[in-house]
Amino acid sequence: MSAALHLYRLQQIDTRLDQINARLTSIQNALENDSDLKAARQKQEEIAATLKECERALQEAERESTTQRIKLEQAEASLYSGKIHNPKELTDLQNDVASLKRRLSALEDRQLECMLALEEARAALEQAQKAYLSTQGQVISKNASLKTEQESLEKERETLLAQRQAVLPAVQANWLAQYDTLRQQKRGLAVTALHDDACDACGAAITRAHAQTARHAQQLVTCPSCGRILFAG
């Protein structure tokens, strides 16, 4: 029996545990920090702020229009009162009235623009609120699915950890130390299979004599290229 048999089984367990742990981390991050929901909430808040600004601008435009209208009414009342007879004063007052009318027209145009902007902001906020609620529903559904997957993976991890504990007594201490060192050096893959006289991990060709040794040796045999422990089955 190959010396690497139990280490190969340990490698299979650890590889799957690495995959599970990585996925569990990803799931936890997704549950705690949902970017889609945050983006939808941020958009809703931004549009709500725009809506408030539109309301403020409209109130200001209405106030200025009202003030200007009062000034115009007062100027027109003076102009048509018949109390002013001096031609120059009448001309100046007529010019004032014309200027006030132009200013009022501009203010009313701005007021209309503010009203339109406010309507657009209200419509946009309504859409953003609907989008947020829709995203929230999707997130709740997705999170339920993620939690189900999380529970399944945690159960599988418990099973694998138990299997790992069962394998460890069959592995010599010095072999386990070599395995752990290689795991750190080789991105988690310390033991690799040998197929058709080639290393599965790096693809290097293995001589028949070296492959035969890996199949029957009572000591660990490593790939001469990548240095990983070879398991020949």
Q: Six-digit token pair at 215?
A: 């199949």
pLDDT greater than 60 at residue 1: no
pLDDT of residue 66: 93
pLDDT band at 118 (very low <50, low <70, confident <90, very high): very high
Averaged pLDDT, 194-222: 89
Q: Where in the chain is the domain with CATH 1.10.287.1700?
A: 34-168
Quick: pLDDT tens for 174-198.
999 999 999 999 999 999 999 999 9
Cβ–Cβ under 8 Å, residues 17 and 157: yes
Of residues 5, 19, 29, the one with CA closest to residue 160: 19
pLDDT band at 93 (very low <50, low <70, confident <90, very high): confident
Fold of domain 34-168 = Helix Hairpins (1.10.287)
Percent of the chain past pLDDT 70, that is, above it, reads 99
Quick: pLDDT tens for 50-64.
999 999 999 999 999
pLDDT greater than 80 at residue 5: yes
Sheet (strand 229-231) strand order: 198-199, 191-195, 229-231
Say if pTM beats, i.e. exceeds, 0.85: no
Query: What's the mean per-residue pLDDT of the chain?
Result: 92
pLDDT band at 7 (very low <50, low <70, confident <90, very high): very high
Q: What is the DSSP string of the chain?
A: --TTHHHHHHHHHHHHHHHHHHHHHHHHHHHH--HHHHHHHHHHHHHHHHHHHHHHHHHHHHHHHHHHHHHHHHHHHHHTSS----HHHHHHHHHHHHHHHHHHHHHHHHHHHHHHHHHHHHHHHHHHHHHHHHHHHHHHHHHHHHHHHHHHHHHHHHHHHHHHHHHGGGS-HHHHHHHHHHHHHTTT--EEEEETTEETTT--B--HHHHHHHHH-SS--B-TTT-PEEE--
